[in-house]
Chains A and B, each alone.
Chain A
Amino acid sequence: NAGVTQTPKFQVLKTGQSMTLQCAQDMNHEYMSWYRQDPGMGLRLIHYSVGAGITDQGEVPNGYNVSRSTTEDFPLRLLSAAPSQTSVYFCASSPDPDYEQYFGPGTRLTVT
């Protein structure tokens, strides 16, 4: 199993550009989530999904969209990048929210 994979590893965007961060897992987990981590801070939940076709907002959803058309993939879309979205983004998956979550290696995003 590859576990949770994220692409790209690094990305630089200009203000106003849009992009999609990819997240995939091969463990058949129903629960997937996206977090952002600003320098020196803890992780903050952006969006999560409890299964294909079902998504919900977390703590900091503004400026981000998600969809979940398959169990394996959970992409995160930045609609119009802003410097405040400069952060490291982590994707995670779990068979259930009360179980162990597996985190991806992260995507480091810089918005100039």
Chain B
Amino acid sequence: DAKTTQPNSMESNEEEPVHLPCNHSTISGTDYIHWYRQLPSQGPEYVIHGLTSNVNNRMASLAIAEDRKSSTLILHRATLRDAAVYYCILRANDMRFGAGTRLTVKP
């Protein structure tokens, strides 16, 4: 199964950009790269997903490396409400969540 590797934790200052990395060196050609986040005591929430090209939506941007072996979730201006655990997941017939990256946002 294709797996992802993320840092356990990251910190950011409020209103600064945040770049959350994810390595997925065994990704297959048909695997989409999904990002979800989970706020305390809530279910996961979809953030963004993509296959090959960079993607933008109202929440974030997703930058995908040309060889697709890594990707970066970009929060353009972190707010306190963005403090959460962020999961990078590959679609491989079923979604496997790892431990994710715990993002702390400092005021």
Contact = CB atoms under 8 A, between A and B. Distances in A.
Interface residues of A, number: 23
**Looking at chain B, what size class is its interface with the partner chain?**
10 to 19
A42 B97 contact: yes
B49 interface: yes
Contacts of B42: 105-106
A98 B91 contact: yes
A75 interface: no
**Chain B facing A: main interface SS:** loop
Interface stretch (A10-18, A43-51, A65-73, A79-87): A43-51
Interface in A69-112: 90, 92, 97-106
Contact of A90 (B43, B85, B100): B43
Contacts, number: 51
Given A42-B87, A97-B91, A98-B91, A35 B97 contact: yes
Contacts of A33: 94-95
B100 A100 contact: no
A106 B39 CA distance: 13
A58 B44 CA distance: 18
Nearest to B98: A42
A103 B44 contact: yes
Contact of A45 (B32, B43, B94): B94
Contacts of B95: 33, 45, 97, 101
B43 A44 contact: no
A41 interface: yes
Contacts of B32: 98
Contact of B44 (A41, A59, A90): A90
Nearest to A106: B43
Given A90-B44, A100-B46, 17 more contacts: A33-B95, A41-B99, A42-B87, A42-B99, A42-B100, A43-B44, A43-B87, A44-B97, A45-B94, A45-B95, A58-B94, A59-B96, A92-B43, A97-B93, A98-B32, A99-B49, A105-B43
